[in-house]
Amino acid sequence: MNLFDLLKLWEPTFTPEKAKVHLARYNGEDHPLDVFIQGGFDKWQSRQSNRNFKLPFVVSLIQAGSPTRWLFAGLFRTIDCVEIGGLKPDYVYDLERVPAAEEWVGRLYLSSSYTRRNSYPYGETLVGDLVVSELLAERLSIGHFPGFKKVNLTKKQLDVVVLQNVDSWRSALSSVKGIYLITDIQTGKLYVGKADGETGIWGRWCTYSTTSHGHNVALKQEFGIDAPPERQNDLRFSLLEIADLHTMKADIDARENHWKEILLTRSYGYNRN
């Protein structure tokens, strides 16, 4: 089955002649697959350095692994375009998703023989190409909870887990208290924290997703309101040990202190007590 045949079924007014294809590839800054999973693909795509979407439709695909494997990210109508800036302007597009195609977004993988560097080919160029190779049962997301021993989240990944309220992660992390580790990959400094409330590790990490610093003194100084927003991308979250939700606060405090001493996070990290 060919993608363009499916698009004609989903949207009867669609034809390849009316479409530009956006082959979203890694540009050295943001990987479009990460942006998509984080929910920011539409905004990311809307800003272009050239007038790349001059036709009524945009077919958006994201490179997924090999140069010939693509994930369907949506069918869009081009509504408007605003030029901003001076000598070298950017073009901000108002792109509207076609609802009939939404069921397949993030689920449909395609194989293609197109390997040219042009990221914005005309629809006619890919007619007969873009063959459906895989259909996921559910939309691509951050993935299922991997087990307590394998938790290793970037700040962006944590934000996605919290924003999407991913059931497997919420269920697991809200079922335990415990000791967690935050690593600053820019400086190498560590922070040992505890989750001893009724909502477990999930509740504590939701606070980090919202604030980036969890109201901890040293982390607030480093990642607070005066820090560049991208600085929080240097944070990684993992678990040192877990405990039953009925574990007493004093026992959690003792284990937290143990890990602070072992990892020397008072002397060389972000712990202040």
- Mean pLDDT per segment of 10 residues, for the chain of length 273 residues? 95 97 85 85 95 97 89 97 89 98 96 92 94 90 87 91 89 96 97 96 96 94 89 95 95 98 97 94
Nearest alpha-carbon partner for 137 in 158, 167, 106: 106
CB 73 within 8 A of CB 41: yes
Q: How far apart are CA 263 and CA 260, in angstroms?
A: 5
Which 3 state secondary structure label does DSSP give 130? coil
pLDDT score at 106: 93
**Residue 16 in tokens:** 């390849």
Q: How far apart are CA 258 and CA 268, in angstroms?
A: 15
Which 3 state secondary structure label does DSSP give 193? strand
pLDDT score at 230: 87
- The H or E element that residue 90 is part of is strand 90-97
pLDDT score at 266: 97
3-state helix, strand, coil in the chain (%, to 5): 35, 30, 40
pLDDT score at 171: 94
- The H or E element that residue 132 is part of is strand 131-135
Backbone angles phi, psi at 71, to 5 degrees: -105, 130
Q: How far apart are CA 72 and CA 101, in angstroms?
A: 10
| Domains of the chain as residue ranges with CATH | 3-135 (no CATH), 148-263 (3.40.1440.10)
